[in-house]
Structure 1
Amino acid sequence: MKFVEYADADMMFLALADVIAGSLENHLFSEETATLVVPGGTTPGPIFDSLSATAHLDWSRINVLLSDERWVPLDSPRSNTKLLKDRLLTGPAAAARYVPLFCDAADPSAGALALGPSVEDVLPITVLVLGMGADMHTASLFPNSPQLAGALDPKAPAVVAVDVPDQPEDRVSLSASVLRGAISTHIVIKGADKRAAVERAQHLDEMAAPIQTVLSSATVHWAES
């Protein structure tokens, strides 16, 4: 694990957007396409804003998808897809190929089966950006999920359905094997509690700390606030 500390969150978001753009641009020098995977939630919004204004990227050759999604209507304020479309897939970045992680299937299990082939088509991930909760979950791989062991299995499908007992919605998530296959991995966190959690996770297994599945190969970007 590489740990990078920033003076404040604004500096972190700008610096990480530059790193992501640089990695994608370098990849496209030798490959026809690149795949960017990003988290939902409120934290990555400023990163999306910076990336969407990065006109020098050939966005038409970049696949963009979420690491996980809540199984809610696309117009819900809880929808990660809505955030992605409002904050990242605008301006020059609107030319990117959006790979959905939500569909009109009846439930997350059926949705995961339907969505898997289009996700597999754009693997491996070129740049993976993840968040992490104070409980050491990442994407929708939660330590208290009944599906965690299956999602961590190296033979798990690309997209898995996840039930999280203390969360209001069921979810779908990229599986651990997909996350581990990323060429470049970045974890972005804020606050003393998240720093303590990522340090604690280094000494735990994946069932107790799902972030551990990518931690050894990741760069962790942290700011106090």
Structure 2
Amino acid sequence: MNLVEYPDRDLLALDLAEVLADALNQSLRQKDRATFAVPGGTSPGPVFQALSQVHLPWDRVDVMLTDERWVPESSDRSNTALLRRSLLTGPAAAATLIPLYDAAPAPEDRLETLIAGVAPLLPIDVMLIGMGADMHTASLFPGADRLTEGLSGDAPLLLPMRAPGAPEPRVTLTAPVLSGALDIHLLIMGTEKKEALLRASQLPPAEAPVACLLEGATIHYAD
């Protein structure tokens, strides 16, 4: 675990966007296409806004969320819709978005189809991911109904996940996929999350799911 601290959030956003752009360029020098996995939520918004304006061969980049709520893009809780507004604009609009939602009553109804879309793009080349104050990452929540399965070494690539306090079902990449990313960057902001990260580094993934990927991660932090 490599912790990089920034003096403020603006500098973090600009520097992290440059780090991610460099990582994607490096990957694209070695292969025809690169897989870029990203989190939902609003925290990475400034990073995405900066990154979206970088002139990369975005038409050779496949972008996927690390997890998604099981809601259509018309919902204000859709991470896919948020991603289209924050990252997939400007030059980055040329990237290919790999869906983690497909209209159906429940994620179980479309899981095989979604897995078929993700499988050819693994391992993830570059991943930006977040962490909650409860030490969850993606939709691997403490207390979630299928957390044990999601942390297992032989977990499927994707799992439906339901957790206390989560208003809708989720679909999430599982621990082997997340920890198998070739270049992992974890974004955290605020002292509460820094304290949670330090606790997570001393706990098993069953109690602190983010621990499943800390060993190989670079953590980017600002208050």
When the two structures are superposed, what TM-score results if normalisation uses the length of structure 1? 0.97
Tell me the amino acid that sits aligned with residue 191 of structure 1.
G
Aligned position for 2:137: 138
Amino acid paired to 2:113 = A
The answer to whether residue 50 in structure 2 is matched with residue 50 in structure 1 is yes
Partner of 2:94: 95
- SS of the aligned residue for 2:68 comes to strand
1:104-143 pair list within 5 angstroms: 104-143=103-142
How far does residue 130 in structure 1 lie from its aligned partner after superposition? 0.7
* Equivalence for 2:39: 39
| 2:27 aligned residue | 27
Check whether the contact 2:72–2:103 (CA below 8 A) recurs between aligned residues.
no
**Alpha-carbon distance, 1:115 to partner:** 0.3
- Whether 2:201 is the aligned partner of 1:209: answer no
Structure 1 counterpart of 2:190: 191
Distance 2:134 2:111 in 1: 24
Indicate the SS of the match to 2:204. Answer: coil
Matched residue, 1:7: 7
The percent of aligned pairs where both chains have the same amino acid is 48
**Structure 1, residues 126-182: CA drift from partner, whole Å, max 9, x if none?**
111111001000000001101000111121111110001211111000011110110
Match of 1:162 in 2: 161
Gaps of 5+ in 2: none
- SS state of the match for residue 92, structure 1? helix
Q: CA deviation at 1:15?
A: 0.6
Q: Output the aligned Cα RMSD.
A: 0.8
Partner of 2:220, secondary structure, is: strand
Structure 1, unpaired ranges of 5+: none
Structure 1 runs (4+) deviating above 6 angstroms are none
Code of the residue aligned with 2:198 in structure 1: it is E
Deviation at 1:106, TM superposition (A): 2.4
C-alpha distance in 2 between matches for 1:170 and 1:124: 25
* Deviation, structure 1 residue 204: 0.4
Report how many residues are paired.
223
Looking at structure 2, the residues matched to 34 and 211 of structure 1 have their Cα atoms a distance apart, in angstroms, of 24
**Amino acid corresponding to residue 48 of structure 2 in structure 1:** F
